[in-house]
Amino acid sequence: MKLRKKWVTGIMLAFILSLVMAVAGCAQEEPKDTDKTTEPANKKVVLATTTSTDNTGLLDELEPIFKEKTGYEVSHVAVGTGEALRMGEKGDADVLLTHAPASEQPLVDNKDVINYQLVMHNDFIIVGPASDPAKVKGMESAADSLKKIMDSEATFVSRGDDSGTHKKEKAIWKDLDVEPKGDWYVEAGAGMGDTLRMASEKKAYTLTDRGTYLAQKDKLDLEVLVEGDKILLNIYHVMQVNPEKNDKINADGAKAFVEFLISPETQKIIEDFGKDKYGEPLFIPDAGKEMDEVGK
Protein backbone atom coordinates (compact mmCIF):
# COMPACT_ATOMS: atom_id res chain seq x y z
CA MET A 1 0.00 0.00 0.00
CA LYS A 2 2.82 2.40 0.92
CA LEU A 3 4.54 1.57 -2.37
CA ARG A 4 1.34 2.38 -4.29
CA LYS A 5 1.01 5.74 -2.52
CA LYS A 6 4.62 6.57 -3.31
CA TRP A 7 4.03 5.60 -6.94
CA VAL A 8 0.91 7.81 -7.23
CA THR A 9 2.67 10.66 -5.45
CA GLY A 10 5.59 10.34 -7.85
CA ILE A 11 3.30 10.51 -10.89
CA MET A 12 1.52 13.59 -9.50
CA LEU A 13 4.83 15.34 -8.83
CA ALA A 14 6.04 14.55 -12.32
CA PHE A 15 2.78 15.88 -13.78
CA ILE A 16 2.97 19.09 -11.74
CA LEU A 17 6.62 19.56 -12.73
CA SER A 18 5.80 19.13 -16.44
CA LEU A 19 3.02 21.74 -16.15
CA VAL A 20 5.37 24.21 -14.47
CA MET A 21 7.98 23.70 -17.20
CA ALA A 22 5.37 24.11 -19.97
CA VAL A 23 4.10 27.38 -18.48
CA ALA A 24 7.66 28.64 -18.07
CA GLY A 25 8.42 27.71 -21.68
CA CYS A 26 5.37 29.65 -22.94
CA ALA A 27 6.37 32.66 -20.89
CA GLN A 28 9.86 32.64 -22.42
CA GLU A 29 8.67 31.99 -26.00
CA GLU A 30 9.71 34.80 -28.31
CA PRO A 31 6.86 36.67 -30.00
CA LYS A 32 6.44 35.91 -33.69
CA ASP A 33 8.59 38.15 -35.87
CA THR A 34 6.44 40.46 -37.92
CA ASP A 35 6.95 43.84 -39.51
CA LYS A 36 3.32 44.80 -38.90
CA THR A 37 3.14 46.07 -35.33
CA THR A 38 -0.41 47.31 -35.80
CA GLU A 39 -2.88 47.30 -38.63
CA PRO A 40 -2.88 50.67 -40.46
CA ALA A 41 -6.03 52.70 -40.01
CA ASN A 42 -5.99 53.61 -43.72
CA LYS A 43 -4.55 50.74 -45.76
CA LYS A 44 -4.82 52.34 -49.21
CA VAL A 45 -1.79 54.18 -50.64
CA VAL A 46 -2.10 55.90 -54.03
CA LEU A 47 1.15 55.93 -55.98
CA ALA A 48 1.46 58.16 -59.07
CA THR A 49 4.34 57.01 -61.22
CA THR A 50 5.90 56.74 -64.64
CA THR A 51 4.94 53.97 -67.05
CA SER A 52 8.43 52.42 -66.97
CA THR A 53 8.05 51.17 -63.39
CA ASP A 54 4.80 49.55 -64.48
CA ASN A 55 5.84 48.21 -67.92
CA THR A 56 8.98 46.57 -66.56
CA GLY A 57 7.03 44.67 -63.90
CA LEU A 58 9.02 46.21 -61.04
CA LEU A 59 5.93 47.37 -59.17
CA ASP A 60 4.34 43.95 -59.55
CA GLU A 61 7.42 42.57 -57.80
CA LEU A 62 7.55 45.13 -54.99
CA GLU A 63 3.93 45.84 -54.06
CA PRO A 64 3.08 42.40 -52.57
CA ILE A 65 6.25 42.55 -50.46
CA PHE A 66 5.35 46.03 -49.22
CA LYS A 67 1.86 44.82 -48.30
CA GLU A 68 3.24 41.81 -46.45
CA LYS A 69 5.70 43.93 -44.48
CA THR A 70 3.46 46.88 -43.62
CA GLY A 71 -0.20 46.03 -44.22
CA TYR A 72 -0.55 48.88 -46.74
CA GLU A 73 -1.98 48.22 -50.20
CA VAL A 74 -0.56 50.27 -53.06
CA SER A 75 -2.81 51.35 -55.90
CA HIS A 76 -0.47 52.68 -58.58
CA VAL A 77 -1.43 55.01 -61.40
CA ALA A 78 1.11 54.80 -64.24
CA VAL A 79 0.53 58.08 -66.08
CA GLY A 80 4.01 59.31 -66.91
CA THR A 81 6.14 61.67 -64.88
CA GLY A 82 4.51 64.94 -66.01
CA GLU A 83 1.01 63.87 -65.02
CA ALA A 84 2.27 62.17 -61.85
CA LEU A 85 3.88 65.44 -60.73
CA ARG A 86 0.67 67.33 -61.47
CA MET A 87 -1.23 64.81 -59.34
CA GLY A 88 1.24 65.55 -56.55
CA GLU A 89 0.77 69.31 -56.90
CA LYS A 90 -3.01 68.89 -56.65
CA GLY A 91 -2.83 66.42 -53.77
CA ASP A 92 -4.41 63.62 -55.83
CA ALA A 93 -1.82 61.02 -54.81
CA ASP A 94 -0.08 60.03 -51.60
CA VAL A 95 3.38 59.30 -52.99
CA LEU A 96 5.24 59.81 -56.29
CA LEU A 97 7.89 57.74 -58.08
CA THR A 98 9.21 59.69 -61.09
CA HIS A 99 12.28 60.21 -63.26
CA ALA A 100 12.66 63.88 -64.21
CA PRO A 101 14.80 65.61 -61.56
CA ALA A 102 14.63 69.06 -63.20
CA SER A 103 10.82 68.94 -63.15
CA GLU A 104 10.68 67.45 -59.66
CA GLN A 105 12.78 70.18 -58.07
CA PRO A 106 10.11 72.93 -58.22
CA LEU A 107 7.75 70.68 -56.23
CA VAL A 108 10.48 70.12 -53.65
CA ASP A 109 11.18 73.86 -53.46
CA ASN A 110 7.47 74.69 -53.10
CA LYS A 111 7.05 71.98 -50.47
CA ASP A 112 4.41 70.26 -52.59
CA VAL A 113 6.40 67.12 -51.80
CA ILE A 114 8.54 66.12 -48.83
CA ASN A 115 10.93 63.28 -47.99
CA TYR A 116 12.50 63.43 -51.46
CA GLN A 117 14.75 60.39 -51.87
CA LEU A 118 16.99 58.97 -54.59
CA VAL A 119 15.98 55.39 -55.43
CA MET A 120 17.63 54.05 -58.60
CA HIS A 121 18.66 54.74 -62.17
CA ASN A 122 18.97 53.15 -65.56
CA ASP A 123 19.55 54.92 -68.86
CA PHE A 124 17.80 56.09 -71.98
CA ILE A 125 18.73 54.60 -75.33
CA ILE A 126 17.86 55.34 -78.94
CA VAL A 127 16.43 52.29 -80.68
CA GLY A 128 15.44 51.75 -84.26
CA PRO A 129 15.19 49.24 -87.11
CA ALA A 130 18.17 47.05 -87.97
CA SER A 131 18.30 48.70 -91.41
CA ASP A 132 19.15 52.00 -89.63
CA PRO A 133 18.22 54.35 -92.53
CA ALA A 134 19.71 57.40 -90.75
CA LYS A 135 22.99 55.56 -90.09
CA VAL A 136 23.24 56.48 -86.40
CA LYS A 137 24.33 53.11 -85.00
CA GLY A 138 27.30 53.45 -82.66
CA MET A 139 27.26 57.25 -82.49
CA GLU A 140 28.42 58.55 -79.11
CA SER A 141 26.33 61.73 -79.02
CA ALA A 142 22.58 61.43 -78.52
CA ALA A 143 22.11 64.99 -79.81
CA ASP A 144 24.07 64.35 -83.00
CA SER A 145 22.09 61.15 -83.51
CA LEU A 146 18.74 62.93 -83.28
CA LYS A 147 19.95 65.65 -85.65
CA LYS A 148 21.02 63.01 -88.17
CA ILE A 149 17.61 61.33 -87.90
CA MET A 150 15.93 64.71 -88.46
CA ASP A 151 18.17 65.63 -91.41
CA SER A 152 17.51 62.28 -93.09
CA GLU A 153 13.77 62.58 -92.30
CA ALA A 154 13.76 58.99 -91.06
CA THR A 155 10.63 58.35 -89.02
CA PHE A 156 10.96 59.13 -85.32
CA VAL A 157 8.19 58.31 -82.83
CA SER A 158 8.05 60.60 -79.79
CA ARG A 159 6.08 59.77 -76.67
CA GLY A 160 4.57 63.24 -76.86
CA ASP A 161 2.98 62.86 -73.43
CA ASP A 162 5.08 65.08 -71.14
CA SER A 163 6.50 61.99 -69.47
CA GLY A 164 10.02 61.84 -68.09
CA THR A 165 11.16 60.22 -71.34
CA HIS A 166 9.47 62.92 -73.39
CA LYS A 167 11.04 65.61 -71.19
CA LYS A 168 14.47 64.08 -71.81
CA GLU A 169 13.86 64.01 -75.56
CA LYS A 170 12.73 67.65 -75.57
CA ALA A 171 15.83 68.63 -73.57
CA ILE A 172 18.05 67.09 -76.25
CA TRP A 173 16.20 68.91 -79.05
CA LYS A 174 16.54 72.13 -77.03
CA ASP A 175 20.30 71.62 -76.81
CA LEU A 176 20.29 71.37 -80.60
CA ASP A 177 18.26 74.60 -80.74
CA VAL A 178 15.72 73.01 -83.08
CA GLU A 179 12.04 72.15 -82.88
CA PRO A 180 11.30 68.82 -84.57
CA LYS A 181 8.38 68.91 -86.98
CA GLY A 182 7.31 67.36 -90.23
CA ASP A 183 5.83 64.12 -91.46
CA TRP A 184 8.88 62.23 -90.21
CA TYR A 185 8.17 63.24 -86.58
CA VAL A 186 5.26 61.30 -85.07
CA GLU A 187 3.87 62.05 -81.59
CA ALA A 188 2.31 58.95 -80.06
CA GLY A 189 0.76 60.60 -77.00
CA ALA A 190 1.17 57.25 -75.29
CA GLY A 191 3.14 55.32 -72.69
CA MET A 192 6.53 53.79 -73.39
CA GLY A 193 5.27 50.31 -74.21
CA ASP A 194 2.78 51.59 -76.79
CA THR A 195 5.35 53.99 -78.23
CA LEU A 196 7.86 51.18 -78.70
CA ARG A 197 5.25 49.04 -80.43
CA MET A 198 4.35 51.92 -82.74
CA ALA A 199 8.01 52.53 -83.58
CA SER A 200 8.45 48.85 -84.32
CA GLU A 201 5.44 48.78 -86.63
CA LYS A 202 6.60 51.91 -88.48
CA LYS A 203 10.24 50.79 -88.64
CA ALA A 204 11.04 54.01 -86.85
CA TYR A 205 13.41 55.36 -84.21
CA THR A 206 12.45 56.30 -80.67
CA LEU A 207 13.98 57.25 -77.34
CA THR A 208 13.21 54.78 -74.55
CA ASP A 209 14.35 53.85 -71.08
CA ARG A 210 16.41 50.68 -71.22
CA GLY A 211 14.26 48.81 -68.71
CA THR A 212 11.05 49.04 -70.72
CA TYR A 213 12.89 48.17 -73.92
CA LEU A 214 14.39 45.02 -72.38
CA ALA A 215 11.03 44.00 -70.96
CA GLN A 216 9.37 44.40 -74.38
CA LYS A 217 12.31 43.43 -76.58
CA ASP A 218 11.04 40.00 -77.68
CA LYS A 219 7.90 41.59 -79.14
CA LEU A 220 9.74 44.35 -81.01
CA ASP A 221 11.65 44.62 -84.27
CA LEU A 222 13.99 47.27 -82.84
CA GLU A 223 17.67 47.31 -81.94
CA VAL A 224 19.74 49.44 -79.56
CA LEU A 225 21.57 51.90 -81.81
CA VAL A 226 22.79 54.73 -79.56
CA GLU A 227 23.73 54.43 -75.88
CA GLY A 228 26.23 55.58 -73.28
CA ASP A 229 26.01 59.36 -73.62
CA LYS A 230 25.96 60.84 -70.10
CA ILE A 231 22.97 62.99 -71.07
CA LEU A 232 20.97 59.74 -71.30
CA LEU A 233 21.23 58.97 -67.57
CA ASN A 234 17.74 58.21 -66.21
CA ILE A 235 17.35 58.91 -62.46
CA TYR A 236 14.35 57.95 -60.30
CA HIS A 237 13.25 59.63 -57.07
CA VAL A 238 10.46 58.80 -54.63
CA MET A 239 8.70 61.47 -52.57
CA GLN A 240 5.73 61.94 -50.26
CA VAL A 241 3.04 64.38 -51.23
CA ASN A 242 2.86 67.01 -48.51
CA PRO A 243 -0.21 66.10 -46.39
CA GLU A 244 -1.02 69.80 -46.17
CA LYS A 245 -2.12 69.58 -49.83
CA ASN A 246 -5.16 67.48 -49.01
CA ASP A 247 -6.57 66.18 -45.72
CA LYS A 248 -7.26 62.83 -47.40
CA ILE A 249 -3.59 62.13 -48.12
CA ASN A 250 -2.33 58.96 -46.41
CA ALA A 251 0.83 60.48 -44.92
CA ASP A 252 1.73 57.41 -42.86
CA GLY A 253 1.31 55.08 -45.81
CA ALA A 254 3.31 57.36 -48.10
CA LYS A 255 6.15 57.58 -45.58
CA ALA A 256 6.14 53.81 -45.19
CA PHE A 257 6.43 53.37 -48.97
CA VAL A 258 9.36 55.81 -49.23
CA GLU A 259 11.17 54.02 -46.39
CA PHE A 260 10.42 50.67 -48.01
CA LEU A 261 11.91 51.70 -51.39
CA ILE A 262 15.17 52.97 -49.90
CA SER A 263 15.60 50.11 -47.42
CA PRO A 264 18.60 47.77 -47.97
CA GLU A 265 16.28 44.79 -48.56
CA THR A 266 14.33 46.53 -51.34
CA GLN A 267 17.47 48.00 -52.87
CA LYS A 268 18.80 44.44 -53.17
CA ILE A 269 15.59 43.34 -54.91
CA ILE A 270 15.99 46.25 -57.35
CA GLU A 271 19.65 45.32 -57.92
CA ASP A 272 18.68 41.77 -58.92
CA PHE A 273 15.44 42.57 -60.77
CA GLY A 274 15.61 41.37 -64.37
CA LYS A 275 18.96 39.56 -64.15
CA ASP A 276 17.47 36.09 -64.42
CA LYS A 277 15.36 36.94 -67.48
CA TYR A 278 17.42 39.52 -69.36
CA GLY A 279 20.96 38.80 -68.21
CA GLU A 280 21.27 42.28 -66.71
CA PRO A 281 19.34 44.33 -64.14
CA LEU A 282 16.69 46.73 -65.38
CA PHE A 283 17.57 49.29 -62.70
CA ILE A 284 20.62 50.14 -60.57
CA PRO A 285 19.89 50.92 -56.88
CA ASP A 286 21.07 54.33 -55.62
CA ALA A 287 19.58 54.95 -52.16
CA GLY A 288 21.99 56.82 -49.93
CA LYS A 289 24.09 58.19 -52.79
CA GLU A 290 24.61 61.79 -53.80
CA MET A 291 23.33 62.80 -57.25
CA ASP A 292 26.85 63.26 -58.61
CA GLU A 293 27.68 59.68 -57.67
CA VAL A 294 24.89 58.17 -59.78
CA GLY A 295 26.06 56.29 -62.85
CA LYS A 296 29.71 56.13 -61.79
pTM above 0.75, yes or no: yes
Query: What per-residue confidence (pLDDT) applies to 37?
Result: 54
Ranges in the chain annotated CATH 3.40.190.10: 44-121+235-289, 123-232
pLDDT (average), residues 200-208: 98
End-to-end CA distance of the chain: 89
The pLDDT of residue 208 is: 97
According to the model, what pLDDT value does residue 20 have? 42
183 exposure class (CB count in 10 Å sphere: 0-12, 13-18, 19+)? exposed
- Residue 24, pLDDT above cutoff 60: no
CB neighbour class for 159 (10 Å; exposed up to 12, middle 13-18, buried from 19): buried
CA dist 212 and 193 (Å) reads 7
Assigned fold of 123-232: D-Maltodextrin-Binding Protein; domain 2 (3.40.190)
* Average confidence score pLDDT of the chain: 89
Helix (H, G, I), strand (E, B) or coil at 149: helix
Asked if the 44-121+235-289 domain carries CATH number 3.40.190.10, the reply is: yes
Residue 17 has pLDDT above 50, yes or no: no
d(CA 270, CA 256): 17
